């Protein structure tokens, strides 16, 4: 810690952190998740607007700087990978990412009920899973085969409630309520929630509504676009409790350019990347990311760094477009 203390005599901890993030081409969101800390708190601190006791946060920042070599005299580690190709940004702060994280934060802080919907491939699940790395967040990914007891068991497992208690579905749901009322400040994220609803039953959604109504907990319900219509059409008691809403819009052209910043990309390849991310038929973040993964793999194998349309086409031969 002596090297860090010497360095902070010249520059504040916030200045060191801001400089280190710029060197690593890492966003505040990515750093916050890596530090297991609130993105909003880190952002306020780095912008000089943090009014709470910063002891714990400053300790996290100091540990981050030491781990990444972000102190005077330390070797820069950054985002540069072997072979001269930089690593991808793990958590890219697109408008969808920021808004999704924002809904989660508001629901957790205010014990609110939120809904997030978007097309498959827009990055919804990736963003929710990144937020779920923070303290007091329980993440459940649903599927079509889930029964009521399966949903309850998934929540129990995520919260660490022993399965040995058993009992009826009602008694188990009641224990979940007691857990949230005893351990305040939790957020429950239910992803792929559209798979819980069918024309035959909405019981699984009613379980979630019951947990929300009788617990001190925030809940985010997320799924594909049909989730919004299902809730508005057949789950009125759910719809009129919604505090926050966001519909993912997909990447913009400028966001694709920002995502690829630091890579050596020629104009033709950049145009194809933009098309794969933004075209109205099947463009999405997932397609952009899969393409980039394959391109990076090919370039590493060849010891090259420049992304061309030819390399991109070769990378596409192993993909279903």
Classify 200 as helix, strand or coil. coil
Fold classification of 253-316 (topology level): Helicase, Ruva Protein; domain 3 (1.10.8)
Q: Which two tokens mark 14? A: 């916030």
Q: Which two tokens mark 257? A: 């350019």
Fold classification of 95-247 (topology level): Rossmann fold (3.40.50)
pLDDT tens-digit readout, 38-88? 777 888 888 887 777 888 888 888 888 887 776 554 444 445 544 467 777
Running DSSP on this structure, what letter comes out for residue 47? T
Report whether 62 contacts 277 (CB < 8 A): no
Orientation angle between helical segments 95-110 and 124-131, nearest 10 degrees: 40
What is the pLDDT, as a whole number, of residue 76? 42
Q: In the chain, which residues have pLDDT < 50?
A: 1-9, 73-78, 81-83
Distances (CA, A) of 192 to 117, 180, 225, 228: 9, 22, 10, 12
What is the pLDDT, as a whole number, of residue 164? 63
What is the pLDDT, as a whole number, of residue 293? 92
Query: pTM of the prediction?
Result: 0.78
What are the sequence ranges of the domains in the chain? 2-78, 95-247, 253-316
pLDDT tens-digit readout, 122-152? 999 999 998 998 889 999 999 999 999 999 9
Running DSSP on this structure, what letter comes out for residue 226? H
CATH code linked to domain 2-78:
1.10.260.40
- Round to whole Å and give the CA distance between 260 and 266: 11
What is the pLDDT, as a whole number, of residue 3? 39
């Amino acid at each position: 810690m002596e090297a860090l203390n010497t360095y902070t005599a010249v520059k504040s901890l916030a200045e060191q952190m801001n400089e280190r993030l710029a060197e690593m081409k890492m966003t505040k969101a990515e750093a916050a998740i890596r530090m297991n800390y609130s993105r909003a708190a880190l952002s306020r601190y780095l912008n000089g607007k943090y009014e709470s006791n910063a002891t714990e946060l400053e300790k996290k920042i100091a540990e981050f700087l030491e781990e990444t070599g972000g102190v005077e005299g330390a070797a820069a580690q950054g985002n540069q990978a072997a072979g001269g190709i930089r690593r991808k940004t793990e958590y890219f702060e697109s408008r969808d990412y920021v808004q999704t994280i924002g809904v989660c934060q508001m629901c957790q802080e205010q014990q609110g009920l939120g809904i997030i919907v978007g097309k498959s491939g827009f990055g919804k699940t990736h963003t929710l899973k990144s937020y779920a790395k923070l303290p007091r967040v329980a993440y459940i990914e649903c599927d079509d085969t889930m029964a009521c007891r399966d949903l309850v068991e998934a929540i129990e497992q995520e919260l660490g409630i022993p399965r040995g208690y058993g009992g009826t579905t009602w008694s188990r749901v009641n224990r979940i309520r007691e857990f949230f009322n005893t351990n305040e400040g939790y957020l429950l994220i239910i992803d792929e929630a559209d798979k819980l609803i069918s024309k035959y039953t909405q019981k699984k959604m009613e379980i979630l509504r019951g947990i929300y109504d009788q617990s001190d907990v925030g809940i985010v319900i997320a799924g594909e676009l049909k989730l919004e219509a299902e809730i508005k059409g057949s789950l009125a008691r759910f719809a009129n409790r919604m505090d926050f809403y966001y519909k993912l819009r997909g990447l913009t052209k400028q966001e694709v350019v920002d995502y690829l910043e630091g890579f050596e990309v020629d104009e033709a390849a950049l145009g194809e990347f933009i098309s794969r991310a933004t075209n109205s038929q099947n463009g999405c973040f997932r397609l952009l990311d899969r393409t980039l993964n394959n391109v990076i793999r090919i370039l590493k194998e060849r010891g090259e760094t420049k992304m061309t349309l030819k390399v991109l086409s070769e990378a596409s031969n192993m993909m279903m477009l």
